[in-house]
Amino acid sequence: MNAGPSQPTARAAESGTKPPAGPLNRLGRIAAIVLGWFSPRRMYLPHRTGHRGEQAACRHLRREGYAILARNVKLRGGELDIIALSPDGDRLVFVEVKSGTVGALASAVGVNRPEQHLTRRKLEKLRRLARAACRTGKLPDKPARIDLISVELDGRRVAALRHHRGVS
């Protein structure tokens, strides 16, 4: 018996996940690509884009000599993307990662870059979260700063990565 779009497939049952609901199930995606509704290179979910951006940011920080202490630290009131120790080891760095997929024209003109989405309100929230993380006693007692890493993805490739130090 064929498994319809609403019934889990054998592969989905093995992995414990359900197939995507609605028009973006397998046949829906194929039809959407054929009809030109979506480009297969652009069919990335937002959480995947954010995850890829955080991975690229961690690789960049390690290459620069930072020691990654923690990732995705959940605290009351929010989450810190990356907590690192500066290359010289004398400063805690709380890193906010902003990721996005952009077209060539938007990137060249500088319109809608990921770092433009860091608002004053978000920055104040990051300050509160950084203070709360320091108060837990689980981090070294060192001066701290907040950095922003902006990652632009073109499909799976990192098109641009900008590290803004000390944005607070």
CATH number, domain of 101, equals 3.40.1350.10
pTM for the predicted model, two decimal places: 0.68
Same domain for 110 and 48 = yes
Q: To which residue do tokens 């996005």 refer?
A: 100
- pLDDT tens digit sequence for 80-137: 999 999 999 999 999 999 988 866 445 555 567 778 888 899 999 999 999 999 999 8
Q: Domain span at residue 96? A: 44-164
CA gap 149, 115 in Å, rounded: 8
Q: Report residue 58 as tokens.
A: 């961690």
- The answer to whether position 114 is within a domain reads yes
Cβ-Cβ contacts under 8 Å for 52 (sequence gap 6 or more): 99, 151, 153, 156
- The answer to whether position 1 is within a domain reads no
Same domain for 93 and 14 = no
Range of weakest confidence among 60-64, 73-77, 89-93, 115-119: 115-119
Which pLDDT score is estimated for 101? Answer: 80
Same domain for 72 and 15 = no
Percent of the chain with pLDDT over 70: 66
The alpha carbons of the chain give a radius of gyration, in whole angstroms, of 20
How many domains, the chain?
A: 2
- The answer to whether position 58 is within a domain reads yes
Q: Which helix or strand (DSSP H or E) is residue 92 part of?
A: strand 92-101
Same domain for 132 and 74 = yes
Give the mean pLDDT of 13-27.
Answer: 51
Same domain for 96 and 18 = no
CB atoms within 10 A of CB 49: 16
- The answer to whether position 29 is within a domain reads yes
Burial 131-165 (b: 16+ CB within 10 A, else e): eebbeeeebeeeebebbbbbbbbeeeebeebeeee
